[in-house]
Each structure stands twice: as structure tokens, then as C-alpha cells.
Homo-oligomer: A and B are copies of this chain.
Amino acid sequence: MAAPARKTRPQPRRRPVQGRAQETVDAILKAAAQILAKHGADAATTNAIAARAGVSIGSLYQYFADREALITELVRRHVEEMQAVLARALAGLGDRPLPAAIEQLVAAITAVHQVAPRLHQALHQSLARGRLDAIDQFEAQLEALVAQALVDRVELAIADPGLTARLLVRALGGLIRTTLRREPERVGDPALAMAMTGMILGTLERARR
């Protein structure tokens, strides 16, 4: 109780404030993601987010300039996670025989869209046109990646790898998104995966130069 040198912070315990701040930021973003996924964009008010995160509304604004910034960061992390999943799911793709590689590709695209489907949906809804940038950029990367893979597989003799890659990525992405919305239980269905594989193979055949 002598209270000598109160709180002098002798040694800055490894990111003492840093650590707490990080926790707070994480809690806020997690709360935002949960509300968005569970109750939709309209329910994700800043006050609701702060409440669910267990912090005061003031603290929320300590870490995010405004609501917009919060959502942007949420998107950023979501994309980051999708990228991580993608990287893992595509590892070793180039080394596999074609049929196996395509199966892997289908699995990868499916996996990417399942990272947080409800949240993904809500973000699409909540994001005004022009703010989908981050997600769109991710898809563009994916398209480039697939295009490169097509180029690398010389034996495929794809006439226009860029076009074909766009075609495939967008078609499969839209297919999965629509299915997630209308028949979410079907997304894992092996029959669907097989059909997708067939679609890719058929498309590649028709895309030869």
C-alpha cells in the first residue's frame, strides 16, 4: 500500500499496451463479423459492435477512425484469410497430373468461398459499389494465378489463357456463391464437385488453340 513509484512501468512488458490494444481491436472486429454474419448489415451498428465486443463506443473510435474504416479492415482480414486458405489449398498444384490438379482447383475454389460464407455474403451486401475493391482484387489475383497455371501446362495448348482463366474463375465463383445462397447444404456435395470438374475439363478442351 506504500504506492512507491506507482505505475512507472519499469520495463515496458513486451507490448504491454500494444498487446491490450491488439486484443481490443480483435474483439471489435470479431464482434463486427459475428453481427454481420448473424444479423446482417443493418444490425451492425457501431454501438452494437462495441457492446458485443465488450468495449465502450469510445474505445471503438479509439481504434477506428470511423465505421467505414472498421468495415474496410474487416474486409482486409477476410481477404487475408481467403488468401491463406487459397495458398494452402493450391500448394503443389503444378506437380500433379492434370485430373488431380483440377480436382484440387475445384476444392480450392470451394474452400475459399467457404471461409466465412455468411460474412462474405453480408460484406457483399454491406459494401457499397466501389468498396468491393479488396475482394475484387483478390479474385483478380486468383484469375492471374490460374492463367499462369494454364500457361505452365504447355500440353493444354490453351489459346487464350487469360480469357479462359477469367471464364473459369468467375463461373465457378458465381456458381458457388449462388449455391451457397440458395442451397447451402449442397456446396460440399461430391456430385457437384464432379460436375464442376467435368465443366473445367470440357472447357479446357474447347479452349485449345
A-to-B contact residues, CB < 8 Å: 1, 3-4, 6-7, 40-42, 121-122, 124-125, 128-129, 132, 136, 139-140, 160, 163-164, 166-167, 170-175, 177-179, 181-182, 191-192, 195-196, 198-199, 201-207
> How many chain copies does the complex carry?
4
Q: Which residues does chain B contribute within 8 Å of A178, judged by CB atoms? A: 139, 170, 173-174
Instruction: Provide the bound-state CA to CA distance between A125 and B136, in Å.
Output: 16
Q: Which residues does chain B contribute within 8 Å of A41, judged by CB atoms? A: 128
Contact partner, A175, options B171, B196, B205, Cβ 8 Å? B171
Give min CB distance, A122 to chain B, whole Å.
8
Contact partner, A171, options B3, B160, B191, B199, Cβ 8 Å? B199
List 5 additional contacts besides A171-B175, A202-B206; criterion CB under 8 Å.
Answer: A125-B125, A136-B181, A164-B195, A195-B207, A205-B205
Q: Which residues does chain B contribute within 8 Å of A164, judged by CB atoms? A: 195
Evaluate whether A163 and B3 lie within 8 angstroms (CB atoms) in the complex, with A174-B175, A182-B136, A203-B203 already known: no
